[in-house]
Amino acid sequence: MTEPLFEKVALIGIGHIGSSIAINIRERGLAAHVAISTRGEDTLRRAEELELGTSYHSDPADAVRNADLVILSVPVGASGPVMQSIAHALKPGAIVSDVGSVKGAVIAAMRPHVPKHAQFVPAHPLAGTENSGPDSGFLELFENRWTILTPLEETSEEASERLAALWRAFGARVERMSVEHHDLVLAIVSHLPHLIAYNIVGTAADLETVTQQEVIKFSASGFRDFTRIAASDPTMWRDVFLTNREAVLEMLGRFSEDLASLQRAIRWGDGDMLFDLFTRTRAIRRSIVEAGQDTAAPNFGRTPQSR
């Protein structure tokens, strides 16, 4: 247990990321009071059964009153309306943040509603699984993972550092980045891979010459890993692609060009080109493992029970 970093934290949204934040705050003693609000009454009751917070509120404005820190863990498309609904209840000096995978669109939606007496520090933890809901949170989710902050011109250094300290207390590494650069980087390392996974699994499901039962029965490990990604929350990823469309389309165009080159190499039997590509991509994988962002253990470290 450490000294509380905040007196009161309000969490708006208590899905996978929100519940993991709540567990970290509770287990590490990082706030005296955690107020939780979420749209669904069943989800709110489940959060209370799991003892994720101190108080539970159907109205997000009630949750944020007197809060030193407010974190929105909602689909990026809902960020603006939620911010508008809580603005009047924020106390002077309150820090407002989010966990959205897209920053440009989220900031554009939230910023007009953030009162001048509050501090807006956009953030994005690069962590998560395909699971959702309050039961899916766990303490170790953020450990050794990156959280990117994209402070604005009007954001105070003190507010940025206080939020960074919280994420570091969760075990995360923290880095700052411009909004535009964040959205471009995430388009290639997160958004495009999800789009490809959704498309590959969808293509397999639509094949007329191979039954869906065969696709499931004979899935090799590569396809299984694609299905794990493609099982991610549909609402969240719909909003991500629509709100980060420019960066995603730019990276998708580059990917399509590279895919066409690969197609030509296979057609014309260019083994040297294929070997060079596979060698370079193998080196990237090794670099990710060496950086501590994954494990070299067989089956990506998953046990038989967690497959």
Same domain, 64 and 28: yes
Residue 174's pLDDT band (cuts 50, 70, 90): very high
Give the Cα separation of 248 and 242 in Å (integer): 9
Specify the pLDDT at position 162. Answer: 98
Least confident segment among 135-144, 179-188, 225-234: 225-234
Specify the pLDDT at position 284. Answer: 85
What is the average pLDDT across 80-89?
98
Q: What is the model's pTM?
A: 0.84
Same domain, 131 and 38: yes
Query: Which one of 137, 162, 177 terminates a domain?
Result: 177
Q: What is the pLDDT of residues 65-78, one digit of tens each?
A: 999 999 999 999 99
Residue 228's pLDDT band (cuts 50, 70, 90): confident
Residue 286's pLDDT band (cuts 50, 70, 90): confident
Residue 55, domain member (yes or no):
yes
What is the average pLDDT across 277-282?
91
Between 211 and 237, the more confident residue is 237
Residue 105 has pLDDT above 80, yes or no: yes
Residue 225, domain member (yes or no):
yes
Residue 214, domain member (yes or no):
yes
Residue 128's nearest CA partner among 107, 106, 146 is 146
Residue 305 has pLDDT above 70, yes or no: no
Residue 253: which CATH number? 1.10.3660.10
What is the average pLDDT across 273-298?
82
Mean per-residue pLDDT of the chain = 91
CA–centroid distance for 52 within its chain: 20
Residue 297's pLDDT band (cuts 50, 70, 90): low
Query: How many structural domains compose the chain?
Result: 2
Same domain, 172 and 201: no
Specify the pLDDT at position 306. Answer: 41
Residue 301's pLDDT band (cuts 50, 70, 90): low
In the chain, where do the E strands start and end? 6-12, 31-37, 55-57, 69-72, 95-98, 119-120, 123-125, 146-149, 173-176
Query: Which one of 177, 207, 240 terminates a domain?
Result: 177
Residue 300, domain member (yes or no):
no
How much of the chain exceeds pLDDT 90, in percent? 75
Residue 91 has pLDDT above 70, yes or no: yes
Residue 299 has pLDDT above 70, yes or no: no
Between 288 and 198, the more confident residue is 198
Same domain, 126 and 20: yes
Residue 299, domain member (yes or no):
no
Same domain, 157 and 215: no
Same domain, 197 and 125: no
Residue 94, domain member (yes or no):
yes
Residue 275, domain member (yes or no):
no
Residue 277, domain member (yes or no):
no
Same domain, 171 and 32: yes
Residue 22 has pLDDT above 60, yes or no: yes
Residue 130 has pLDDT above 60, yes or no: yes
What is the average pLDDT across 12-23?
97
Residue 307 has pLDDT above 60, yes or no: no
Could you give the strand order of the β-sheet that contains 123-125, starting from the edge strand earlier in sequence? 123-125, 146-149, 173-176
Residue 128 has pLDDT above 50, yes or no: yes
Domain that holds residue 190: 181-269
Same domain, 166 and 75: yes
